Amino acid sequence: MNKNKIWTYEEISRPHIRLFQLVGFIPFEGKTLEFIGTKLLNVFWSLMVLSYKSMFVGYGIQMLRRKRRKFVELIKMCKQLWTYLTPDETTIIRRYERKAYYIWNIMMINVFSAVTIYILTAHFISIPSETMNGTQLKTLPFRFFADIQEDPLFTIVYVYQGIVTYSIVVINTAAEATGYYVILLACGYLRSVRTRLRSLAERQDKLNSNDKENQNKTTELIYKDVLQCAKFHQNIMVYCEEIEQFMRNISFVGVFTTIYNISMIGIKMFQHDGQFLKYMIIMIMNVFQFFTYQWSPDGLLRESDAIANAAYSTSLKQVGNHKSINKILHFLIMRAQKPMQLTAGGFVKLSMETFGVMIKSAFSFFALLRNADI
């Protein structure tokens, strides 16, 4: 990748936007959510979710569908923040966008692989007949309300279950990607503000070493840059607050269903039923998913907190002894001292510290049940 390339918002967001459009979370370019194509996609994905009958996937995705207009507004706000960037800062956002892109791609590839193995395995497994000379019974990848053995009905149901399962992988990945995308781009915008503040401090060092003739003119330019930083930071904070409102309930469902799964799977792992490896794979997938719920909010927390240190370092340079500059930096420090903290349900703070505490509690929970022989 060319480090000197100047990126546009459309270039870095293209794979994410296409994924969100594919599952009907946002409208196609130049269209609205009422566009017939988007409506047909929503009907298709809704049928897939209903067919799958997954409590977490179904509920989480239905919440996202009810909040589609809110998500569209978030995308617009994210794109508006792009206008504050300098050409060099687009590379910073690109790095954070790549993190989001790689996460949901890894997730999709892993789940696609697991589903493929699961479906193909069902094709080669048969159940012995209850009678001596009876025909072995074919198995479907998932349970079905009726016992189907005759073709072509068996093949139709088999293919249908495969289509439903792969569709759920796509829409579930898109649902997970919404959070990664908006949060990590917010981290990138905050990093851009921090980088800009540090560059202002470096410019002040050069200013102090130059002649006094051009100091007034340069100080005014620095004042405009500091003011622009403050406005940029203010808009990012508004954007982050909208992310909190959008993700609060979705994160609550994701965090607590995942930690519940971890606890229950932990119990099954030690029941000595010969399926330890199977449950270990599922456990790893759930722990990874729970980790991602905490990792991106933790990054946002650290990036928003780092703004205060960057502003303080800039203020120490006594930027031109300009009172207005110092005042702006003072307010910037005060606002950044309350870092942006995303929550699950409005009361569980999402961070790597929370990840450690809840994982420890989950393992303690199933260890207690195991010792009690429950």
Nearest-angstrom CA–CA distance, 279 and 231: 50
Predicted TM-score (pTM) of the model is 0.83
- Which whole number is the average pLDDT over 302-314? 87
Residue for token digits 């012995």? 128
The mean pLDDT value of the chain amounts to 80
Q: CB burial class (10 A; 0-12, 13-18, 19+) of residue 100?
A: buried
Nearest-angstrom CA–CA distance, 59 and 290: 17
Tell me the pLDDT tens digit for each residue of 140-197.
777 666 677 677 887 888 888 888 888 888 888 888 888 889 999 999 999 999 998 8
Residue with the bigger pLDDT between 294 and 259: it is: 294
Residue 57 banded pLDDT, cuts 50, 70, 90: very low
Residue with the bigger pLDDT between 249 and 370: it is: 249
Tell me the pLDDT tens digit for each residue of 61-94.
666 777 888 889 999 999 999 999 988 889 999 9
| 3-state SS class at 349 | strand
Q: Measured in Å, how far apart are the chain's first and last C-alpha atoms?
A: 55
- Take residue 120 and report the two structure tokens written for it: 């193909």
Residue 59 scores a pLDDT above 60:
no
DSSP 27: P
Tell me the pLDDT tens digit for each residue of 310-351.
888 877 765 455 677 888 888 888 888 888 899 988 888 999
Tell me the pLDDT tens digit for each residue of 94-134.
999 999 999 889 888 888 887 887 788 777 766 666 655 55
| 323-336 vs 215-269: helix crossing angle, rounded to 10 | 0
